[in-house]
Structure 1
Amino acid sequence: MSLIVCGLNHTTANLNLREKVHFPLDKTEPALSELRQKLGIPEAVILSTCNRTELYCRTESHTALNISGWLGQYHQLSNTELEHALYHYKDSDAVKHLMRVASGLDSMALGETQILGQVKQAYSIARQAGMVESFMSRLFECSFSVAKQVRTDTEIGANPVSAASAAVRLCQQIYPDLSKVTALAIGAGEMIELTIQHLLGQGLINLLVANRTVGRAAVLANAYGGQAIALTELAEQLPQADVVISCTASPVPVLGKGTVERAIKIRKHKPMFLVDLAVPRDIEPEVSSMDDAYLYTIDDLESVIASNLKSRQTAVKSAEYIIEEESAAFLEWERASGVVDSIREYREKAEQLRLQAISKALQQLSSGVDAQKVVEQLAHTLTNKLTHGPTTQLKKFGSENHEQAILIARQLLELNHEKE
């Protein structure tokens, strides 16, 4: 069995392509079921975030080409659209890759912590779908442990950087004093809450929170001293927003160019700063063509994040060392677990021979056969049956001149004395 990772991320694919291969949370479990049905893969996890989509598959017969082919077919994309952006990892490299991802070493924002929660969520969905057995369970649990150790034992988390903090830094280039602006947050998930925290930390006072479910918007707004509104109120409330941060799970844009144009007109062309952190995008890309609207997407934040990463680079070597050690330990466990199956099968076979011999012996005793003779025959039968297989193989190795196999067999059978 092999572990194969097939995926793309922010370094290999632009936002447009990442949108096309994204798996919404409510579609992930059905996608896993289709992966099992069409390819017969027993264990798999699909990790799909705004910056990456990756398939982790445990398979005996399929290759990375089979898996990437399924990915393209599922999203109705041709090979030419995907092949330049896809990367593949196998076995030990795949193990290290997952540990790097969970630890935040492969993120746009080096060392960010949100990815660990996303990996855990992907793992949980796969378990619910029945796509996690002992191997994947051990692999992902080890990765979570490694991520925690990296966070604890290195400075990878110093000077926090994330898409949320980068968005706020960009915002301050247009509005240096956030206490004088009104911010509109669209969505009520973890990314939006993190962004709100950064905005408030930089002095924001006036906050609106819009969500499809007003109740969830109210919970978030009340927690941070804001006002909750429904998505249906966006057009009405947008003109008062100087800053708009959006991150929903909507499959279609929630904010169109026409709505923004009308708001800008009401604002008398006062600049509006918009950040779209969602994949697929929440704000129509055409908004970026407007003179008084400054729209940034998740890809635009990469250069801003880069300037905050220098302080974390020295921690990378320490983190990589931890991953190297822990991945080696996991692979050692995997190799040992393969032997466990063989040991179990051998013991089961020996137990079957024992039960057969005892059954025959009991029948003889009940028939009046002398007990001593029964015991001797029992011992003789067991000895012959247990030595028959190894003896046959040793003869075969000898006839084929397999000296190395004979030496290994002698070790297994504890024949430690040299032949005279």
Structure 2
Amino acid sequence: MKITLGILKTTKNENPVKDEVIEGIQDNLEYFDEIIYTGNEDFFEDSDIEVKALNLDTDNKAVMRNAILDNTSNELIMWISDTTILEFDMIPEMLEKLEESPDADILYPNMSIIDNEGREKIFRLEDLYCKEKDILMSLKPENHVPEYGIITKRSIFDKFGKFDENFKDYDFYNFLYQNLENIRLKFAEFNYVVIHYLDPFIDTSYRSYALKKALKKYNIKDFFPKLSWDENENLAVSTAYTAVGDTLSDYYDLFSASEFYRKALLSFYNKLTLLKLIKTYFNMGLFEEAKKLAKVEQGLKPEEEKTYQEEINQAENLIKSMEEAINEGKVQEILSVINEVTNHYQGAPLYNIIGVIEYYMKNYDNAYKFFYKAATLNPLDEDIIHNLTSVANQLGKQEDVKGLFKRVFEI
């Protein structure tokens, strides 16, 4: 079988795992009919591997994947990044799985994820063959199918469309979400792929956007089939919406999370969801809203009200004092205590303050990242919006910011 190896260039600077990546390709070289790389051929200058280099100047994975699709006619494509390490001789077993299940559209192995600090997380996955919609129950497809080290049939993209370029680095999982009813997944249980993610900045708004889009496509019961929908629908709805809010919180989309927590409380008022909504408002920096909910009349015990009110007031006063210090030009004073502060509070106002400090120190790229994180957490705050849009105009990232607000305000 002819297989195209499609390699996405995901690194901007030095690639510390380059040699391991090339070694993994060489260990499986005999199975590849062609190799297409979205970067330039310099990546392979120290090897004898022949590649077709596309020389793309983009960090949008969907653009890269679609370019690979446009440059190959082979039916089978293995997808990796320039930080993906393949096991020795892993292709034969994956092809055996295809022979066992010829209707399979995507073959996937187990995965090991290593972050920019070298921390490894191993995922021992499950076979989703003929039960693809089980992915919905997790609310996080990235934990159940790797985006690299997989083999896909080209024909699924001819049938159902290519990757949506509005989803940038979550394009593969959006494709999965949108086509779970149309495709077959098959697990190669004896193989592992090692994926390094070297960039510490991950724009999780694409993940929350894809989830919210999927929630519109499928019935909420598809995500939570085990809840007692017939016995107590209001309780089931509340439980489901609370779980969705939890996942959106994990993705730092607190505005959307708050909306789901609110809907959950309207369906079935309960203390657990109430406390989650209080915490969400707290981390958004909506301290007054949090205090209104942290009351006995809302269902808290007197001692709980006292604890929550004290915690909220403490954080609010801390943020106010830091903002005043910055306005007085006491940047170094704030820098000396910032690590201690983050041990107690990591809400949107704090990221905004750190962004201001980075801006004063002329670290504009870092300032942009912190303002961006603050806006992801709270896209309603006028100061955050002003700071983010100002530095975005300075760096030419206006369209990125417009995209962010579109994604987080999508409910």
TM-score (norm 1): 0.24
Determine which structure has more spread, i.e. the larger CA radius of gyration: 1
